[in-house]
Amino acid sequence: MAKTSTPRPVRCYHCRHPFEISAKAMTVSCPKCSKKLLVEDVTISNTHSVTRLQTCGRIVVKPKGRIIADLIEAHQGIEALGIVEAKVVRGGTIVIGPKAKWQGDCHTPSLTVKLGAVINSGHFVVPDESPGN
Ligand SMILES: [Zn+2]
């Protein structure tokens, strides 16, 4: 946890508007589209099924975690150590761990796949420098 109050840059995952927030903020509203944004890190340690999981922070899928979603987006990156089943995954740096099982399209500027990871399906765009990333 950051203890300084230095503003940190984030980008709205609804309208892509970039702005700065206080380092301590957990949730904020976008100054442009006024939609709420999750900015904290998300840890998935068991089965989690949602339509969308989006954060300006990081997503970590623990070895026993399983995330099932249409869209997974984490601007600070995704560390997949468990099971990821998605239609589309976008993120900062994505790491697919040695025991991970992955299914879904992947758009990221930087990808690491550890030896032993299982990728069942997915269209990978790396590096993806589009505004969505
Ligand atoms: Zn916005």
pLDDT tens across the length of the chain (133 residues): 545 568 889 999 999 999 999 888 878 999 999 999 999 999 999 999 999 999 999 999 999 999 999 999 999 999 999 999 999 999 999 999 999 999 999 999 999 999 999 999 999 999 987 655 5
Q: What is the DSSP letter of 1?
A: -
Distance 3 CA to ligand 1 centre (A): 26
Q: Which two tokens stand for residue 100?
A: 């991970």
Ligand 1 centroid from CA 32, angstroms: 5
Q: Helices (H) and strands (E) in the chain — how many of each?
A: 0, 16
Tell me, what's the pLDDT at 26?
78
DSSP label at 123? -
pLDDT of residue 124: 96
Which residues are bridge partners to 4 per DSSP? Answer: none
How far, in Å, from the CA of 23 to the mean position of ligand 1? 18
Ligand 1 centroid, distance to 114 Cα (angstroms) = 34
- Confidence (pTM): 0.90
